[in-house]
């Protein structure tokens, strides 16, 4: 239920302010009690007062609910030290194996290396960065050089601004965007992977007449997925992508989002519980395999996955 409940954190303060509230306390958007506030982004509506807003633990929220149900008055003393600082320069980290025949054509894959202050940011999203990086290292150590360039990007500033993903896109000309064969992102934790979701902006998956180019690309991805059947990670679903690759996808680049079983990610996500001990090494190695195999094959296929339907920035 994260997608349905996180809206209370994102818009709750302004919705409450519109009703006269002087502050907002939001139950942490996580399904597991770990006695840790669940942090994350929120946005103010400029039409309403900017009141203080804070996440509280599941335990505290449940206690307040019980007290209210018993008719007891709950008094809260709220002190906050949060403030906005001036922007400072940060950087994406990029490593690549240049293509042997078509180095100008690129398959980009990776995750984001920033996280919230709580926890260690392992599942969100440090493990993905290391999985992509190590996948590239394995390909290098095997002496393999794909037909196209295989690039790993560790994006910065996904969590509170997406500046890394936007800067990556903005640094490219339209021609360079069109030379991106695919963008792959892992940003759903390092639980057991099951495959990828495949999305292309502008393709209506509900249309009565299927998009022929998308369907042909989907069939190719299913063939690649079969290479990962031995680790039960061959499933390709329609629809997918990621935040960091979103700017590329909105420009027309096909996007793939690594999918996992998703059993515990939101138990730890954005909390003190997002630590290294939550990573199962075998699941991590499976993620490396998905990124390495899929990235390499997409970069080495004789034909591109599908043409990039370039979408101008002003659209």
Sequence-distant (≥ 6) Cβ neighbours of residue 246 within 8 angstroms: 162, 165, 255
Q: Chunk the chain into consecutive blocks of 10 residues (it has 315) and report each block's average pLDDT, rounded to whole numbers.
A: 87 96 91 84 94 93 96 92 88 98 98 92 97 98 98 96 96 96 97 98 94 97 97 97 97 98 91 94 98 98 95 68
Which tokens go with 189? Answer: 């934790």
Q: What is the C-alpha separation between 126 and 120, in angstroms, rounded?
A: 8
Mean pLDDT, the chain, rounded, equals: 94
Q: What is the C-alpha separation between 25 and 32, in angstroms, rounded?
A: 18
Cis ω on the peptide bond leading into residue 116 (within 30° of 0)? no
Sequence-distant (≥ 6) Cβ neighbours of residue 130 within 8 angstroms: 284
Burial code of 107-143, b = ≥16 C-beta within 10 A, e = fewer?
bbbbbbbbbbebbbbbbbbbbbbbbbbbbbeebeeee
Per-residue confidence (pLDDT) for residue 82, from 0 to 100: 81
Q: 290-307 pLDDT, tens per residue?
A: 999 999 999 999 999 999
Q: What is the C-alpha separation between 24 and 13, in angstroms, rounded?
A: 6
The separation between the first and the last C-alpha atoms of the chain, rounded to the nearest angstrom, is 32
Per-residue confidence (pLDDT) for residue 5, from 0 to 100: 87
Q: 214-273 pLDDT, tens per residue?
A: 999 999 999 999 999 999 999 999 999 999 999 999 999 999 999 999 999 988 989 999
> Which residues have a catalytic role annotated?
158
The answer to whether 106 and 149 are in contact (CB under 8 A) is: yes
Q: What is the C-alpha separation between 129 and 92, in angstroms, rounded?
A: 11
Strand pairing partners for 260?
Answer: 193
Per-residue confidence (pLDDT) for residue 313, from 0 to 100: 67
Per-residue confidence (pLDDT) for residue 38, from 0 to 100: 87
- Give the strand pairing for 102-112 and 180-185: parallel
Per-residue confidence (pLDDT) for residue 33, from 0 to 100: 76
Per-residue confidence (pLDDT) for residue 314, from 0 to 100: 56
């Amino acid at each position: 239920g994260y997608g349905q409940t996180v809206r209370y954190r994102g818009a709750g303060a302004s919705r409450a302010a519109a009703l006269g509230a002087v502050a907002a306390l939001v139950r942490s958007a996580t399904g597991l009690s770990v006695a840790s506030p669940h942090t994350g982004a929120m946005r103010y509506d400029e039409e309403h007062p900017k009141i203080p807003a804070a996440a509280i633990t599941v335990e505290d929220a449940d206690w307040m609910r019980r007290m209210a149900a018993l008719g007891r008055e709950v008094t809260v003393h709220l002190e906050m030290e949060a403030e906005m600082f001036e922007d400072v320069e940060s950087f994406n980290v990029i490593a690549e194996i240049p293509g042997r025949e078509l180095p100008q054509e690129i398959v980009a894959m990776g995750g984001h290396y920033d996280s919230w202050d709580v926890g260690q940011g392992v599942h969100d999203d440090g493990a993905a960065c290391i999985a992509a990086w190590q996948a590239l290292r394995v390909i290098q150590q095997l002496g393999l050089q794909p037909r196209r360039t295989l690039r790993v990007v560790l994006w910065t500033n996904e969590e509170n601004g997406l500046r890394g993903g936007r800067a990556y896109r903005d640094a490219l000309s339209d021609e360079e965007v069109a030379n991106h064969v695919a963008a792959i992102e892992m940003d759903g934790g390092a639980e057991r992977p099951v495959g990828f979701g495949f999305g292309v902006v502008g393709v209506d998956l509900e249309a009565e007449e299927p998009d022929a180019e998308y369907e042909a690309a989907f069939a190719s991805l299913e063939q690649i997925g079969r290479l990962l059947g031995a680790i039960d990670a061959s499933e390709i679903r329609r629809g997918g992508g990621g935040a960091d690759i979103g700017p590329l996808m909105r420009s027309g680049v096909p996007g793939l989002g690594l999918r996992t079983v998703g059993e515990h990610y939101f138990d730890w996500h954005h909390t003190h519980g997002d630590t290294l001990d939550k990573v199962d090494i075998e699941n991590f190695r499976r993620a490396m395999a998905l990124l390495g195999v899929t990235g390499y094959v997409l970069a080495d296929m004789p034909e591109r996955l599908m043409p990039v339907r370039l979408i101008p920035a002003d659209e």
